[in-house]
Amino acid sequence: MKFEKPEGANPIDRMAVVGKPLSRIDGPLKTTGFAPYAYERHDVVPNQAYGYLVGSAIAKGRIRRIDTAEARRAPGVVAVVTSENAGTLALSQSNVAKLLAGPEIQHYDQAVAVVVAETFEQARHAAGLVRVDYARDKGSFDLAATRDSAPMTSSSGRPVPEPYVIGDFDGAFAKAPVTIDATYSTPDQSHAMMEPHASIAAWDGDRLTLWTSNQMIAWAVRDLAKTLGMPAEKIRVLSPYVGGGFGAKLWIRSDAVLAAVAARVAGRPVKLALARPQVMNNTVHRPATIQRIRLGAERDGRLTAIGHESLSGNLPGGRPEGATAQTRLLYAAANRMTALRLAALDLPEGNSMRAPGEAPGMMALEIAMDELAEKLGLDPVALRVLNDTQIDPEKPERRFSERQLVKCLEEGAATFGWSRRNPRPGQVRDGAWLVGMGMAAAFRNSPTMKSGARVRLETGGAVTVETDMTDIGTGSYTIIAQTAAEMMGVPVDKVTVRLGDSAFPVSAGSGGQFGAMNSTAGVYAACVKLREAVSAKLGFNAGDAEFSGGRVKSGNRAVRLADAAKDGPLSAEDFIEYGDLTKTYQLSTFGAHFVEAAVHAHTGEIRVRRMLAVCAAGRILNPKSARSQVIGAMTMGVGAALMEEMAVDKRFGFFVNHDLAGYEVPVHADIPHQEVIFLDEADEYSSPMKAKGVGELGICGVGAAVANAVYNACGVRVRDYPVTLDKLIDRLPALA
């Protein structure tokens, strides 16, 4: 099915099942321990051995010699794999560094060996017996030191000669009566998902089966085929349950490749999970940024110039953090400039983490807007409303399909009690606490992506959906079941959803805020085809047939849906693909975040007291799971604002606090009451579902809203995240 024009009325519009706050159908399996995660698949293949990864102790250099003799003699050891016996491993298009090093070392904790043993403890013990002699080279690990030398690139990392400019930015900024010119920084951050990267690999002759934790099944097959040098059709990847990913599991990592290689060398199935320090240094992270923002405005607050430059670092061949993405679309101004600079750093690979680009970019942009509002003497909400635009600022011929940013801002302000905010910082006290309010706009694009599914009507009238879509804790099982139930006119409990298997049709996968809308649209397309087959079988005109209550009706005639499959199951397969609508209409999601925070007047301790998000993100397929996505994203935003920072050892090039004891993330005690409001919106330009993504919108702007609340509370402006008490304590207002 090709989506080429705005969607008219369709069966989803009945909203009998879609749009209802159903509890997740996979919830009982997860809460009782019956949901099979990758490392726990003791049932799928016998005689599994355990692998343990040995990571590089240096960040850059070469392996002079690797001695595995003692490890091989250790109790229970089955095999030790290094680059010397692993065979040729190519570099896939999704990996910047090799997943098994040798002899060159590209970053700290890059895998140099895998030890396979009968038990996990034996494998871990023997891994400590692998002796590696390194020749260390000098590396580059300090982002700030590259500010004057890092070249300009595109978002893909391709060199470009100059910034992207519309109008006369320099001239407009110089003439603007009110300006802001400030630099902000965000640190390296870890995805810190609950389930580490883990895989079980088994060979049957020349065929590989991999049970793994991965967000994008088809990408995993593609990249395994390239890395291992084998046909993709001889690889099967299964990942029905994923314990969080946030972008770190968009691509295969060393656990997947090295489990496969180790299983081939050992001649038996191998399971391999990365320890938490390996997740943080061996896999990917959100890169640090240094961002300069320049805003020029008339005295009434209308922006005349917007400039946003961002510096980030990565391994050679990697991409920059696209922190300027939202600045190109969020506010109106005739004169604009954006630029990305990319430093070559010898740190572990930087790559996508929840709302890549917009999350750190809005942490800077939305503080700058707050600073501009204060300089203008304008309310921060009013400033953003004044600079709203219904067209793409860079392409005036393209308007937004739906853009309810102003309504998000105004409804959020009214609900949160924004009018009670004292605009003068440091004026509101509650005992020893200084209390303030802050806000920020939220923005994230809604990408379209081809996505397929197979839908089958079983002989008893039940419906089965099969697609390689994944559920990373986001509720995919439930919204896909709701879609099929709505389309086929059956209760949700009559729908079985099977996900995360490369034997199923290729879906959009989970990531980038594209998963829900595209995967359900693919299921919609397959259901349209199945409805046609059912109608033909029962003697109905498919265009006139109504599917509801387990029956198919047209005119005065009604037949049980199950009757269409009395001679055997009926199956249909299709996919959604998109035409050129996005060339005419910009698909984006919008929101507003409001935060109340308190700063202890004596210690500088920060406490977030309450939070509100207002979101305009198309049709909400399941308000309960969507709310869970947004409050989870808001929680991540609090972490980014107040505590999350991977500390770089700039001498030796690694992340020092590489566990959940040293890398702090929010816990229940850190998170107050969170309220989420979804505006009524059905975007006919997005897909047949009229939905858009929401899971990443919830983090965009949160960090700035927290930082702005802290400033309003105590009058100390912090531009270098995270906003920790040491950056406040010697600048707090004098005690009376």
Place of tokens 């599991």: 249
Please say whether the beta carbons of 517 and 474 come within 8 A.
no
State CA 197 to chain mean position distance.
Answer: 16
Cβ density class 139-177: b for 16+ within 10 Å, e for less: bbbbbeebeeebebbebeeeeeeebbebeebeebbeebe
Distance CA 500, CA 479 (A): 15
Distance CA 453, CA 526 (A): 6
Please say whether the beta carbons of 68 and 130 come within 8 A.
yes
Please say whether the beta carbons of 688 and 680 come within 8 A.
no
- Which tokens sit at 254? 């060393």
Helix (H) and strand (E) counts in the chain: 15, 34
Q: Which helix (H) or strand (E) holds 484?
A: helix 476-488
For CA atoms 717, 720, 723, 727, give the dihedral sign.
Answer: negative
Please say whether the beta carbons of 147 and 311 come within 8 A.
yes
Q: How far is CA 461 from CA 29, 108, 186, 479, 486, in A?
A: 24, 55, 54, 20, 14
Please say whether the beta carbons of 442 and 409 come within 8 A.
no
Q: What are phi and psi of 729, to 5 degrees?
A: -60, -35
Alpha helices in 646-701 (DSSP H): none
Exposed/middle/buried for 468, CB within 10 Å: 0-12, 13-18, 19+?
A: buried
Residue type, 147: R
488: three-class secondary structure by DSSP: helix
| Cβ atoms within 10 Å of 735's Cβ, excluding its own | 7
Please say whether the beta carbons of 722 and 641 come within 8 A.
yes
Residues 6+ apart with CB under 8 A from 735: 601, 602
Q: What are phi and psi of 28, to 5 degrees?
A: -60, -35
- Which tokens sit at 24? 């997740």
Annotate 470-534 with three-state secondary structure. CCCCCCHHHHHHHHHHHHHCCCHHHEEEECCECCCCCCCCCCCCCHHHHHHHHHHHHHHHHHHHH
Distance CA 360, CA 186 (A): 6
- Which tokens sit at 64? 């002079």
Place of tokens 């994203």: 633
Candidate list 349, 466, 486, 696, residue with the active-site label: 696
Please say whether the beta carbons of 611 and 415 come within 8 A.
no
Comparing CA positions, the residue from 155, 172, 173 lying closest to residue 164 is 155
Comparing CA positions, the residue from 190, 171, 182 lying closest to residue 109 is 190
Distance CA 424, CA 12 (A): 49
Active site (annotated) includes residue 394: no
Please say whether the beta carbons of 418 and 381 come within 8 A.
yes
299: three-class secondary structure by DSSP: coil
Please say whether the beta carbons of 678 and 294 come within 8 A.
no
Distance CA 570, CA 249 (A): 35
- Which tokens sit at 211? 């049970």
Distance CA 580, CA 699 (A): 29
Residue type, 193: M
Distance CA 599, CA 601 (A): 6
- Which tokens sit at 504? 């199923």
Residues classed as catalytic? 696
